[in-house]
Amino acid sequence: MVPERIRNVALVGHGGSGKTSLAEALLYVTGATTRQGSIEAGTSMLDFEPEEQERKISLSLSVASVTWQDHKITVIDTPGYIDFSGDARAALRAADLALFVVSGVDGVEVQTEILWRAAEEEGIPRAVIISKLDRERSSFTRVLAQLRDTFGKRIAPVQVPIGAENELRGVVRVVSGRSFLYGPDDRTGTLTESPPADVSDLVASTREALIESVVETDDALMEKYFEGELPDAATIVTTVHQGMLKGEIFPVLVASAARRIGVDTLCEFLTDFAPNPLERTLPPIAAGEAIPIEPDGPALGYVFKTISDPFVGRISLFRIYSGAVKADDDLQIHTADGSNGHARMHNLFYLMGKDHVDTKEVSCGEIGAVAKLENLTAGATIHGPGVATILKPVLFPNPVTELAISPKSQHDEEKLSTALHRILDEDPTLRVDRKPETGETVLAGLGDVHLDVTLARIHRKFGVEVATTVPKVPYRETITSIADAEGKHKKQTGGRGQYGVANVKFSPLPRGSGYEFVDAVKGGSIPRQFIPAVNKGIQEALQRGVLAGYPVVDVVAEVFDGKFHNVDSDELSFRMAGIQAFRAAASDLRPVLLEPIMHLTIRVPDDHTGDIMGDVNSRRGRVLGVDSDGGSRVVEAEVPMVEIQHYAAELRSMTSGRGTFEVRFDHYAEVPHQEAQKVISANSQKDE
C-alpha cells in the first residue's frame, strides 16, 4: 500500500464515550467483520482480554485495519479510563490523527481534556466525533458549544446530524451539502443531494462558521472573504486538511455507532481530510538528526507497545515512519534504557484485534507487529544501517498508587519475578521497587483499578496468586541532643575472652545529612585495626532504631577514647562496644520519629480549588502555592506520605474524576508527638 493511501487513526477520549463501539461499527460497515461486535454481548473483536470482558471496558489498546475506497485505515482503539491512559499516549505516537470521541449525552469529560493536552504535546492533528447522538438527552448543539468553550474557536464542524435522539436518521456533510439517510438495517447511508428542510438552517449556520474558521487560517482567503468571495468546496477541503496538519483547525463529525449512522461518512472524511503518513513529522528526536520521510529511504520505526502472550511470547507493535521492513531484515535497536542491539524481523504480521495477518513486508506509514523478539521493548527505535536517528520514548504519567505484593506460595517467588518482568515490559506506567528499608516489594500504578487488573493478568498469564497489603511507611528516627557514653563488651568463658571499650560522642546533623563517623582516638587507646569495627557496630545499632525500630539518621558519631586487652580484644569485641555505646547514650539523645513528606502537584478545575486546599490541610499538609493553567488550577503542596496512601481514589471522588496529581518524595520531617505515639505504640504491639 502506498503511503498516500494509508490513514492511521487513534480513537481517544473519556471512558464510556463510545470509542470501541465506533471501531466495531467501522469494522462491520467496511466489511472487515460479518457482524457488529459488542463488548456487552461478549462479541467484541477489539476488547477480547478476559479482564475487559469481565469489566465491560477497554483496558489496553487494540489495533485493526479496514479498507475503504482503496485506502487502508488502521484504527487504534484506546482505553478511556484514566488508570490505563498510558496506552492512549502510546497510540498517539503511532497514529497520524487523534480522533476524539465525545459522547453526545455526557459532553466533554476530564479524560478528553487530559488527552487533548497529550496530543498537543505530541504534535498530532486532532478531530472530534460526537457519538451516541441517538440516545436520550443527547444534543449536538450543546456538546458543540462545550467543545468551543473548552478547546477554542478552532473547533470547526464539518457535519451536522439529521434529527435528534430517537429521531436521528442521517448526516449532512457541510462542505458539499450532501445528505445521507439511514434505515434500521443499513450499513451505509442513502445519498441525497440536498439536506432536508428541517436542518437547512443548521447546515447554513454551520457552513458559515466553518468558512470563518477556514479563512482565518489564510490571509489571502480572508481578504477575498471580506470582499464577498466565498471559498469553493475544493478550497475548503484543502484548507481544512492543511489546518489540521498545523493544529489550526479541529473538524467535528457526528455519528451513532449503534445504528451505524455516520460511520461511512467518517470513512469518507478520513480519506478526504485526514493526514497521510508522508505528512506526519517525525516524533521528537533523542539523538542524531531527523531523516526525510521517504517510502524508498532507510527504515526507521518506533515500538509503541509490547504484549506478553502466553502462547506466542512477546509481541512488539511498531510504526514505520520511513522506508520499509521486510521479513528477516536485520535491524538495529536502541531501547528506552539506552542499550543497543539487533533484531532479525521474523514473523511479521498485522493485528486484527487478537488475530494475526501474516505479511512479508511492513511498508512506510504502516503499523505492524513482530513476535518472539525479547530485546524489542516499548520505547525502542528500530532502524536500518546508516541511520543515526533515535526517537524519544513516549513520556508516560508517573505511578500514583502503591501496593506491597508477595506470592501467596513461597514456591512462586521465581514465577512472580518473571511475571513482573514481563508485565513491566507490557505496561510502562507500572513500576516495581524493592524497598530495603521495609523489606517489601512494592507495585505502583496509576490507580486501584490499574493494580487490580495487573494482578489479575499476572494470575491468568503466569499462574501466580499474589497477596497484597498497603505498603509500610518508611519512617526514620533521629536525635535532637548531644550525649556521649561508654560502650563496654566483656566476656570471659575460660581460655581467650572478649574485651573492648569505646567511648563515643553522638551529635545531631542537619536533616538529610545521613551518617558520619569521626575517628578522634589519640594515644592508641583503641588500636587502629579495631576502629572500623566500632563504626560497624554503631551503624548496626542505628539501623535497629530506638523508638519504634526504624533506622536512625542524621547522626555524627565521634569515637574519642577506649580500652583494649592485648589478648582478648578483637573486631567482634569492638563491634559490640560500638553497639553498646549507642544504646547507653540513646535515652540522653532525645530521639524523635521522622516521616517522609511528599510533594504533590494537583491539577483540578477552578471550582474545586477551595475543597482541595482544605483537604490538604486536613491531611497535615501545607499548600505551597496555586497557579492557573487554562481552566484549571495547579495546587503545589507538601503532605506526609501516610496521609495520601489512597489519594488517587479519594481525589477522583472529590472532583468527580476531574482531578489529577503527581507525587514525589521531598524530605523527612519530625512527626507530631501525638501521631508519633500512635506509630510507636503500633510497633510495640507488633513486637509483642
487-506, pLDDT tens digit by residue?
Answer: 999 988 777 889 999 999 99
Cα separation, 41 vs 550, in Å, equals 54
Query: Cell for 640?
Result: 506526609
β-bridge partners, 491: 498
Cα separation, 605 vs 614, in Å, equals 15
Q: What are phi and psi of 117, to 5 degrees?
A: -65, -40
The answer as to whether 334 is a domain residue is yes
What residues have CB less than 8 Å from 494, skipping those under 6 apart? none
Query: Cell for 459?
Result: 494470575
Q: What are phi and psi of 28, to 5 degrees?
A: -75, -45
Give the tens place of pLDDT for each residue, 142-193: 999 999 999 998 999 999 999 999 999 999 999 999 999 999 989 999 998 8
Cα-only R_g, the chain? 32
Cα separation, 517 vs 469, in Å, equals 37
Query: Cell for 685?
Result: 504491639
Q: For 129-182, what is the HEC assignment?
A: EEECCCCCCCCHHHHHHHHHHHHCCCEEECEEEECCHHHCCEEEECCCCCEEEC
CATH number for the domain spanning 263: value is 3.40.50.300
Higher pLDDT, 399 or 1: 399
Task: Report the percent of the chain where pLDDT is more than 70.
Answer: 99
Where in the sequence is the domain holding 512, given as residue range(s)? 477-590
The answer as to whether 266 is a domain residue is yes
* Helices vs. strands in the chain: H and E counts, helices first: 16, 36
The answer as to whether 131 is a domain residue is yes
Mean pLDDT of 36-55: 90
Looking at 226, 249, 279, the residue that finishes a domain is 279
Chain-centroid distance of CA 8 in Å reads 21
Q: Are residues 636 and 497 in the same domain?
A: no
Contact 481, 444 (CB under 8 A): no
pLDDT band, very low/low/confident/very high, at 567 (cuts 50, 70, 90): confident
Residue of 556, 553, 559 lying closest to 534 (CA atoms): 559
The answer as to whether 666 is a domain residue is yes
Q: Are residues 423 and 513 in the same domain?
A: no
Give the tens place of pLDDT for each residue, 458-467: 999 889 999 9
Looking at 391, 419, 446, the residue that finishes a domain is 391
pLDDT band, very low/low/confident/very high, at 311 (cuts 50, 70, 90): confident
Cα separation, 592 vs 537, in Å, equals 21
CATH number for the domain spanning 448: value is 3.30.70.870
Give the containing element (helix H, strand E) for 288.
Answer: none
Q: What is the pLDDT of residue 496?
A: 80
Q: Are residues 334 and 207 in the same domain?
A: no
Contact 404, 466 (CB under 8 A): no
Q: Are residues 188 and 63 in the same domain?
A: yes
B/e letters for 469-485, b = 16+ CB within 10 Å, e = fewer, are eebebbbbbbbeeebbb
Query: Cell for 574?
Result: 569492638
Q: Are residues 429 and 515 in the same domain?
A: no
Q: Are residues 440 and 579 in the same domain?
A: no
Q: Are residues 120 and 39 in the same domain?
A: yes
Q: Are residues 563 and 676 in the same domain?
A: no
Hey, how many other C-beta atoms are within 10 angstroms of the C-beta on 619?
17
Cα separation, 513 vs 555, in Å, equals 8
The answer as to whether 45 is a domain residue is yes
Burial (CB count <10 Å: 0-12, 13-18, 19+), residue 158? buried
Domain count, the chain: 5
Q: Are residues 611 and 573 in the same domain?
A: no
Residue of 22, 88, 42 lying closest to 427 (CA atoms): 88
Q: What is the pLDDT of residue 375?
A: 86
Q: What is the pLDDT of residue 126?
A: 97
Give the tens place of pLDDT for each residue, 343-373: 899 889 999 999 999 999 999 999 999 999 9
Taking the CA of residue 190 as centre, how many other CA atoms within 13 Å lie in the half-sphere pointing to its CB?
8
Residue of 631, 600, 596 lying closest to 613 (CA atoms): 600
Residue type, 607: D
Whether the predicted pLDDT of 453 surpasses 70: yes
The answer as to whether 396 is a domain residue is no
Q: Are residues 151 and 269 in the same domain?
A: yes
Mean pLDDT of 306-324: 90
pLDDT band, very low/low/confident/very high, at 686 (cuts 50, 70, 90): low
CATH number for the domain spanning 491: value is 3.30.230.10
Q: What is the pLDDT of residue 601?
A: 95
pLDDT band, very low/low/confident/very high, at 261 (cuts 50, 70, 90): very high
The answer as to whether 109 is a domain residue is yes
Q: What is the pLDDT of residue 228?
A: 87
Give the tens place of pLDDT for each residue, 578-632: 999 999 999 999 999 999 999 999 988 888 999 999 999 999 999 999 998 766 8
Query: Cell for 150?
Result: 473548552
| Confidence (pTM) | 0.87
Q: What is the pLDDT of residue 685?
A: 67
Q: Are residues 249 and 356 in the same domain?
A: no
Contact 585, 482 (CB under 8 A): no
Q: What is the pLDDT of residue 267?
A: 97
Looking at 557, 590, 623, the residue that finishes a domain is 590
Q: What is the pLDDT of residue 630?
A: 67
Q: From start to end of 515-621, where are the E strands? A: 515-519, 555-563, 592-605
Cα separation, 481 vs 54, in Å, equals 59
Q: From start to end of 462-548, where are the E strands? A: 466-469, 476-478, 483-491, 498-508, 515-519
Q: Are residues 93 and 242 in the same domain?
A: yes
Cα separation, 217 vs 208, in Å, equals 15
Taking the CA of residue 236 as centre, how many other CA atoms within 13 Å lie in the half-sphere pointing to its CB?
23
Residue of 78, 67, 71, 70 lying closest to 27 (CA atoms): 67
Please provide the average confidence, as pLDDT, over all residues in the chain. 93
Task: Report the percent of the chain where pLDDT is more than 90.
Answer: 79
